[in-house]
Amino acid sequence: MKLLLVDGHYYAYRSFFAIRNLSNSRGEPTNALYGMAKALKRMAADLRPDYAAVVMDGGLPAHRMEQHSAYKANRSEMPDLLSRQIPQFAQLAPPLGFTHLCVEGEEADDVLASYALAASRQGIETILATNDKDLMQLVDGSVKIYQPGKTDFELIDARAVEEKWGIPPALIGDLLTLTGDSADNIPGVPGVGPKTAAGWLREFGSLDVLLANVGKLASERHRLALEGAREILARNRILVALRTGLSLPRPIEELAFRPDAARQAEVFAAFEFRGLLAEAQAQAQIALPPQEKSSAPGQAAQGELLF
């Protein structure tokens, strides 16, 4: 059995910036919605999941904000043309077979992590469609990362993570604790980059063992930096740790992948996605009225997008 979990905000942003100047006849932006529809259809075809969900961010968790009030404060405000489309993902995802999930006050990463752990306990394989390095720490025998390519796709496993980062997935959290994460506005130990941190973790096996043996480091600069950053490290541990024990908003059994071509046709007609509408109507064996065969404004720019 296979559970496909999609990092909704990542694919929303990716779609929004990959497709430009797409709107319906009412002048409403639809580029992120169109890109998401194409991406979800591509994932479904590539992976053929038994269960599937799109998980959206529900806000910044209080426990992280208490630790670091500037957490993610460096991020630009979501573009208005994208924010206007976000609520409509709840309408788009279900007809394509994906349950739409958003837990108020929780980041998608923690929801994804909690589902991945629950699925593993049930013997269900989990595929995470994301580009978030935080989620790399979840990769193991039952969890992989989906990465689409131009003609095919790749499932990132533990070996691929270790080849990229120089450490196994279980130590990604320790590495981020040391280096911080500029994307989330988390400062790390001054002067410590990913290669240095990975080398230490390979040598000592974990951050705890490293901190217990700081005196063994050859570089005095590094010894002083680590000794002076113990409070930062304690805070960063909390900030980068994925919470895997959240209450699931829906049981995995209720996330069954059940695409509905007739409902897709209704949604695609409302969004004026003519090409996708024709595909859905053909699958549902719905006749296409002659007047609907012409392209709506902006649709000529829609190509075969790769997500």
**For position 63, which CATH number holds?**
3.40.50.1010
Please tell me whether residues 201 and 116 are part of one structural domain: no
Please tell me whether residues 95 and 161 are part of one structural domain: yes
Question: Mean pLDDT across the chain, nearest whole number?
Answer: 91
Please tell me whether residues 84 and 205 are part of one structural domain: no
- Distance of alpha carbon 206 from alpha carbon 302, whole angstroms: 48
Q: Do 102 and 145 touch, CB atoms closer than 8 A? A: no
- Edge-to-edge strand ranges of the sheet holding 99-102: 99-102, 51-56, 2-7, 125-129, 143-148, 153-156
pLDDT in tens, 235-282: 999 999 999 999 999 999 999 999 999 999 999 999 999 999 999 999
- Distance of alpha carbon 127 from alpha carbon 92, whole angstroms: 21
| Residue 260 forms part of a structural domain | no
| Residue 289 forms part of a structural domain | no
> What is the pLDDT confidence band of residue 288, given thresholds at 50, 70 and 90?
low
Percent of the chain with pLDDT over 90: 81
Please identify, among 213, 240, 267, the residue that sits at the C-terminal boundary of a domain.
240
- Distance of alpha carbon 132 from alpha carbon 254, whole angstroms: 26
Please tell me whether residues 162 and 69 are part of one structural domain: yes
Please tell me whether residues 208 and 248 are part of one structural domain: no
Please identify, among 240, 266, 285, the residue that sits at the C-terminal boundary of a domain.
240
Domain extent for 229: 169-240
Predicted TM-score (pTM) of the model is 0.90
| Residue 297 forms part of a structural domain | no
Please tell me whether residues 13 and 145 are part of one structural domain: yes
Please tell me whether residues 135 and 117 are part of one structural domain: yes
Please tell me whether residues 127 and 251 are part of one structural domain: yes
Please tell me whether residues 125 and 153 are part of one structural domain: yes
At residue 289, the pLDDT reads 57
| Residue 295 forms part of a structural domain | no
- Distance of alpha carbon 206 from alpha carbon 160, whole angstroms: 20
Q: Rounded to 5 degrees, what are φ and ψ at 4? A: -105, 120
| Residue 69 forms part of a structural domain | yes
Please tell me whether residues 62 and 134 are part of one structural domain: yes
Please tell me whether residues 124 and 48 are part of one structural domain: yes
| Residue 302 forms part of a structural domain | no
pLDDT in tens, 94-126: 999 999 999 999 999 999 999 999 999 999 999
Please check the confidence at residue 306 and state whether its pLDDT lies above 90. no
At residue 129, the pLDDT reads 98
Measured over the CA atoms of residue 289, residue 291, residue 294 and residue 297, the dihedral's sign is: negative
- More confident of the two residues 264 and 70: 264
What mean pLDDT do residues 35-44 have?
97
Spell out the SS3 assignment of the chain. Answer: CEEEEEEHHHHHHHHHHHCCCCECCCCCECHHHHHHHHHHHHHHHHHCCCEEEEEECCCCCHHHHHHCCCCCCCCCCCCHHHHCCHHHHHHHCHHHCCEEEECCCCCHHHHHHHHHHHHHHCCCEEEEECCCHHHHHHCECCEEEEEECCCCEEEECHHHHHHHHCCCHHHHHHHHHHHEEHHHCEECCCCCCHHHHHHHHHHHCCHHHHHHCHHHCCCHHHHHHHHCCHHHHHHHHHHHCCCCCCCCCCCHHHHECCCCHHHHHHHHHHHCCHHHHHHHHHHHCCCCCHHHCCCCCCHHHCCCCCC
CATH code (residue 227): 1.10.150.20
| Residue 160 forms part of a structural domain | yes
Q: Structural domain tally of the chain? A: 2
Please tell me whether residues 157 and 24 are part of one structural domain: yes
Question: Helices 274-284 and 31-47 sit at what angle, rounded to 10 degrees?
Answer: 40
| Residue 38 forms part of a structural domain | yes
* CA Rg value for the chain: 22
Please identify, among 215, 240, 265, the residue that sits at the C-terminal boundary of a domain.
240
